[in-house]
Amino acid sequence: MNGKREVLFDQLKKLKVEVEKNSLKELFELNPNRFEEFHVSLDDMVFDYSKIHFNKQILSKLFELIKLCNLEEKRDAMFKGDKINITENRAVLHTALRANLNHSVFVDGEDIIPDIKEVLERMKSFSTDIREGKIVSSTNEKFTDVVNIGIGGSHLGPQMVTQALKPYHDGPDVHFVSNIDSSHLSDTLKGLNPATTLVIIASKTFTTIETMTNAKSAKKWMQEALGEENANKHFAALSTALDKTKAFGISDDRVFGFWDWVGGRYSIWSAIGLSLMIAIGAKNFEEFLQGAYEMDEHFKNASVEENMPIILALIGVWHRNICEYATRAILPYDQRLESFTTYIQQLDMESNGKSVSLSGKQLEVNSGPIVWGEAGTNSQHSFFQLLHQGTSIVPCEFLVAVNNHEEGMDIHNQLLIANCLAQSQALMNGRDINEVKTILKNSGLDDEQIERLAPHKVFRGNRPSSTLIYKKLTPKILGKIIALYEHRVFVEGVIWNIDSFDQWGVELGKELATKMVSYIQGNEPKGLDSSSVGLLMTIKKWNKNIN
């Protein structure tokens, strides 16, 4: 595929030169139907990509990529449980967790659906019993607080979705601890009553140093307050490593398993969603799964021209490989999606931040870009300066809900939406020097002042963006949005011909940290560079607890 893909990329680069003869603004003037031609709808979501600087000819060339890389075949292989994560020899089946559970999906000849059903049913009854006070604490009280201890995929998903679905939150308060920094656990536990707190340890491997260190400290906190035997009644675990959860002292009926075919960053749909389910209830959690399922079906069945994840992915490839933009910004105009970009950073960059192809060869084209962003309108008052006037072009992905959840606060919603639409318009249209000069003249400035100020007030515009609007941030719509981004990452990974489901890049740092901690704890540093030695010496001088 590689040679042919490069040929297509070259053709696309030529088309880019052509299309850029007209600015984005001019493309809209030339074609008043641009929105009609460049948007795709799915139920209560509309994805507008008319402000991407390309045209129909380019889009059909991009569609050729889909055929060239056998996307359909690879997509089907994922859904049916082939071991597409080749470096870990694993199937990739997060989609099975939200599938129609009346069908079978096989891994190594075994139907995995019965196990999925069993864990889901146990999660539902456990979360309902916690919410209704049928499962009580060691002091016979209702649990008022849940602390989810996990990191990476065992944290970002439950944390982001719980925050996003705050209006549906009618269970105990849920708190999240991820960082090994003692402040995170300590600040979280400070206001909590151990007697009414349930700690959920979320870790696929049950070995992750951050999670296990926090879990042990939380256990100590609980034991000091309630005694050893009682403390165990305040713990539950979400893991694939059932032997390790037992060794930690968690009884089997409090352990909710999942499987090696669920990647950490794709695990919100599994037992890792338990804290979320406790917060919003089983029914809302099922709506969330249903939303993702509907996006899966759309991804499987819609034609490429109407396929939201495929189009989003092709825009990503257009920007990364043809326009050579190094980053993309994700900008939810939705405060409850404050953590969405962080979540997508793991999903996207841990999946597609790779340098070698599936066969281990150095990539000849760029893979995943840097993903960053922040909720609007806050970000307008921080980094939007660079988006509008900086020397780098950053394609922006806006997301905005049409309806808010709050009664009697319509003005907030109207202003939020207006700001979102205005930003994409400003990025596209910009403001040229003549317009700036006219504005300055009308404001009464003299010629000298106008000459001096005008260049600073020019917006070159012509900056691409897309906008995803959705009716309301409901569990179902959020499920759809997350699945949309998951499939986007998958399609891009297929085009780049990489393993989007491993994450070897996180291992070296972990390994070196293990050695480094022995030096911090007193072992003589061996074979270290002078920077590390210099830092270690200073640390030892300044911290009386380190020898």
Residues that bind ligand F6P (CB under 6 A): 151-154, 203-205, 208, 211, 264-265, 350, 503, 506
Task: Give how far the C-alpha of residue 169 lies from the chain's centroid of Cα atoms, to the nearest Å.
Answer: 21
Distance CA 182, CA 421 (A): 42
**Shortest CB 205 distance to ligand F6P, Å:** 3
Nearer to ligand F6P (CB atom), residue 194 or residue 264: 264
Could you say which of 286, 287, 350, 374 is catalytic?
Answer: 350
**Shortest CB 361 distance to ligand F6P, Å:** 24
Nearer to ligand F6P (CB atom), residue 446 or residue 511: 511
**Shortest CB 267 distance to ligand F6P, Å:** 7
Nearer to ligand F6P (CB atom), residue 58 or residue 268: 268
Closest CA to 472 of 347, 351, 323, 291: 291
Alpha helices in 38-176 (DSSP H): 56-68, 71-79, 113-132, 156-164
Closest CA to 398 of 320, 464, 306: 464
Could you say which of 14, 56, 216, 510 is catalytic?
Answer: 510
Q: Which residues contact 366 (CB under 8 A, 6 or more apart)?
A: 320, 321, 324
Distance CA 304, CA 69 (A): 13
**Shortest CB 92 distance to ligand F6P, Å:** 13
Could you say which of 21, 190, 381, 526 is catalytic?
Answer: 381
Distance CA 220, CA 40 (A): 53
Closest CA to 389 of 430, 331, 328, 450: 430
- The verdict on whether 350 is a catalytic residue reads yes
Nearer to ligand F6P (CB atom), residue 192 or residue 241: 241
**Shortest CB 151 distance to ligand F6P, Å:** 5
**Shortest CB 202 distance to ligand F6P, Å:** 7
Nearer to ligand F6P (CB atom), residue 204 or residue 320: 204
Nearer to ligand F6P (CB atom), residue 294 or residue 348: 348
Burial level of 146, CB count in 10 A (0-12/13-18/19+)? buried
Cβ atoms < 10 Å from Cβ of 172: 21
Q: Which two tokens stand for residue 530?
A: 């002078």
Q: Which two tokens stand for residue 394?
A: 């950053």
DSSP assigned state of 170: -
Residue positions annotated with a catalytic role: 350, 381, 510
